[in-house]
Chains A and B, each alone.
Chain A
């Protein structure tokens, strides 16, 4: 085809002719020659980083993206190698994945299921991504996971905390490193009982959607098992910005603990409002009134400022951990970007590494081979201690951090202090309790 032919008409004409003679048609159905969707054939492999770049979680998304870029750098042999040095599996050699250079494409989930799926589909259909990862909400994670299952690529979930992701909505092609509501509840309850006693009366404010329900349920069950009583549980709309009318009646109810099952913007606002009402200065039932935030995000907690001081919650990972893996990660991230990574950055970095490692060990990019390599995989040195990727539901089991807002922060990043590292056994549950079925892995093609 010559350049002079590049008008639209010309193109159509030529293509029609070429279609008969030159074309090398491939039909992407079951009978096709490719072994699986987007099999990388050249010297590089493309990963899809699908993170929120606009909307309320844009900053979290930006941190995830930084972590991914760092991971790609390390996989391709650049930088200081980061967690590859501490990772218990030594399959990765810093020469890309299976010798192929790692390339990536990025997209914006907008923290909306539709936009996230559109972005993921464009990565799969247009850019030939062989794995999709990222995200900052369970709605998006479940939607994109279902898409990846259908398209036949691996999905490595980013920040998603709802039980559903590896519970009732689990999929054979989807994997989650992040912890979940159940684990938060199981890890928090004993610490709360130790610090606040076993005769507390709790008042729950719960975000009125799936994640809120599972979190309330988890915290409720595990605290009630230790003797707490739940006075009331009130659901608040996701779009609520001012929580005063939900918080004002709390004192009257005779409750002495307020549990805020909120995340992100909701959490910042409800916590700020609760502190404004002076709840924490009150004595109820002769006990100090306390507030609990089951899921902490340091990036978001920053928005609540001094209000987080002394408030308990749980988190997947925190940069102040002192094991080798965490130190290595903080060092390489901090050196590159000038500030410590968030838990979102950590989980996404680890997910990218785990995927690459699984491909190396499997010796293939085929999703089914990768899934098999990940299932039941035990590893260490990634910052959370010994971790297991459980085969039954594709959920990682590892220690859970119980944290508390720091009273005297030394810097703007030093908001949380680790109170307890709850061991894995305590947060492990039976894979069947949330229902759902994994189905069979789908290599697409």
Chain B
């Protein structure tokens, strides 16, 4: 269906179901219980899951298929954000023009950067992309402050022109919307202790993410995708057949840059703020880590990796010693303190430590990333036909 093989269609359906029911799946614990700390079903984090999912899916089109490791993809996300926020400041708070422009601008930037950087391969390519991104970050933070807002970034203001919108007269801050439907609008469903939030912005981002995912599947399965894989496995051989690989890799680069721009535009649509920090090399590094952590070259892996890293960042960092004490309050005092002392370095301000340990554990024990973990579990359950795991799904990294 939709031009997909049955297996891919099942995957798409699975992702669609997961995304549609995310408010339930991510909120497994009732409100007010000790475990509610681990609930991730609030609008901001759900939006971030799908937005970074899009970013990672796009990155994977370049890295997973061609093997070209870009270390500057966050720059495209950044320019996408700036394009979107300017659209909201000048034209309208409707998210559609903002998102469209962000994709176009990111596409143009990635065309330029890609065209230059793809003259080199391997680590030289990575450093070139890194250099472009770092230059864009540095300039956006400093001398380009009039355009980018520098340190404080840009937010929509009451006084912005916004030529398509009606004038704001009562001094309220305009909100991002889709033809009047505000991104922040939510419907809360409370069911005996549980509260599930259905957020308009999240579902809009989720639909965009499903479309992106669908497009990514089509690319993976197309002749173009095959060509990209050929670039990865042996570029020399490809050259000998008289084919010029560069147009293909450049196309992949631009597509993944546009995905990054789309993510940037959505980010602004969901949370109206654009800043230079999201172009810093650590942000580029983050998407690399997301992709590898989930499983580079697999369809679903990058999304999982993005989800895991964002979950750790937002959930783990909020657990403080107070909460720990509450959790273990039922234990005898000495034991409670001991447990809290033991766990404390890994949560709250120590969430980076847990993240680092997790990276190492995953890469040591699950060489194919989280997807491999899933496959191993899957194999445990259907031991009858061990070779049934589809080969296309686990193209190893590199």
Q: Give me the interface of A with B, judged by CB distance under 8 Å.
A: 1, 8, 11-12, 14-15, 18-19, 22-29, 53-54, 58, 61-62, 104-108, 112-115, 117-119, 121-122, 125-126, 137-139, 142-143, 146-147, 149-151, 162, 164, 169, 171-172, 208-211, 213, 235, 237-239, 437-440, 442
Q: Given A126-B39, A439-B172, check contact A15 B191 (CB 8 Å).
A: yes
Which residues of the other chain, A, contact B145 by a CB distance below 8 angstroms? 209-210, 213
**Listed residue (B24, B43, B142) with the most chain A CB atoms within 10 angstroms of its CB:** B142
Check B239 for interface membership: any CB of A closer than 8 A: no
Q: Quote the shortest CB–CB distance from A311 to chain B (angstroms).
A: 25
User: 0/1 per residue, B186-223, Cβ < 8 Å to A?
Assistant: 11111110101100000000000000000000000000
B36 to A, closest residue via Cβ: A126
Check B301 for interface membership: any CB of A closer than 8 A: no
User: 0/1 per residue, B137-167, Cβ < 8 Å to A?
Assistant: 0100111010001111101011100000000
Q: Quote the shortest CB–CB distance from A299 to chain B (angstroms).
A: 15
Q: Quote the shortest CB–CB distance from A265 to chain B (angstroms).
A: 15
Q: Which 8 A-B pairs have the closest CB atoms?
A: A440-B171, A53-B349, A121-B44, A208-B142, A209-B151, A142-B152, A126-B42, A108-B317
- CA of A8 to CA of B180 in the docked complex: distance in angstroms? 34
- CA of A28 to CA of B42 in the docked complex: distance in angstroms? 13
- CA of A114 to CA of B286 in the docked complex: distance in angstroms? 14
- CA of A142 to CA of B150 in the docked complex: distance in angstroms? 12
Q: Given A106-B320, A209-B151, check contact A238 B277 (CB 8 Å).
A: no
Which residues of the other chain, B, contact A238 by a CB distance below 8 angstroms? 141-142
Check B339 for interface membership: any CB of A closer than 8 A: no
Which residues of the other chain, B, contact A213 by a CB distance below 8 angstroms? 145
Asked if B171 and A122 make an inter-chain contact with CB atoms under 8 angstroms apart, the answer reads no
Asked if A149 and B349 make an inter-chain contact with CB atoms under 8 angstroms apart, the answer reads no
**Listed residue (B48, B138, B277) with the most chain A CB atoms within 10 angstroms of its CB:** B277
Q: Give me the interface of B with A, judged by CB distance under 8 Å.
A: 21, 24-25, 28, 39, 42-45, 48, 138, 141-143, 145, 149-153, 155, 157-159, 170-173, 175, 182, 184-192, 194, 196-197, 271-273, 275, 277-278, 313-314, 317-318, 320, 322, 348-349, 351-352
Which residues of the other chain, A, contact B349 by a CB distance below 8 angstroms? 53-54, 58, 61-62, 108
Asked if B152 and A122 make an inter-chain contact with CB atoms under 8 angstroms apart, the answer reads no
Q: Quote the shortest CB–CB distance from B346 to chain A (angstroms).
A: 13
Q: Quote the shortest CB–CB distance from A167 to chain B (angstroms).
A: 11
| Apart from the given pairs A119-B314, A437-B157, A439-B171, 8 other A-B contacts in the complex at a CB distance below 8 Å | A8-B24, A11-B24, A25-B187, A25-B190, A26-B190, A126-B45, A238-B142, A437-B171
- CA of A215 to CA of B151 in the docked complex: distance in angstroms? 14
B137 to A, closest residue via Cβ: A239
Asked if B314 and A122 make an inter-chain contact with CB atoms under 8 angstroms apart, the answer reads yes
Which residues of the other chain, A, contact B278 by a CB distance below 8 angstroms? 114
Q: Given A54-B352, A151-B184, A237-B138, check contact A121 B143 (CB 8 Å).
A: no
- CA of A114 to CA of B47 in the docked complex: distance in angstroms? 13
Q: Quote the shortest CB–CB distance from A264 to chain B (angstroms).
A: 13
Which residues of the other chain, A, contact B39 by a CB distance below 8 angstroms? 126
Asked if B173 and A439 make an inter-chain contact with CB atoms under 8 angstroms apart, the answer reads yes
Asked if B317 and A437 make an inter-chain contact with CB atoms under 8 angstroms apart, the answer reads no
Q: Which of A1, A25, A118, A162 contacts B188 (CB 8 A)?
A: A25
Q: Quote the shortest CB–CB distance from A443 to chain B (angstroms).
A: 10
Which residues of the other chain, B, contact A169 by a CB distance below 8 angstroms? 152, 155
Q: Which of B44, B142, B277 contacts A113 (CB 8 A)?
A: B277
Q: Given A25-B189, A53-B349, A146-B155, check contact A114 B141 (CB 8 Å).
A: no
Which residues of the other chain, B, contact A115 by a CB distance below 8 angstroms? 313
Q: Quote the shortest CB–CB distance from B172 to chain A (angstroms).
A: 6
Which residues of the other chain, A, contact B351 by a CB distance below 8 angstroms? 54, 108
Asked if B153 and A142 make an inter-chain contact with CB atoms under 8 angstroms apart, the answer reads yes
Asked if A26 and B188 make an inter-chain contact with CB atoms under 8 angstroms apart, the answer reads yes
Q: Which of A117, A119, A210, A237 contacts B152 (CB 8 A)?
A: A210
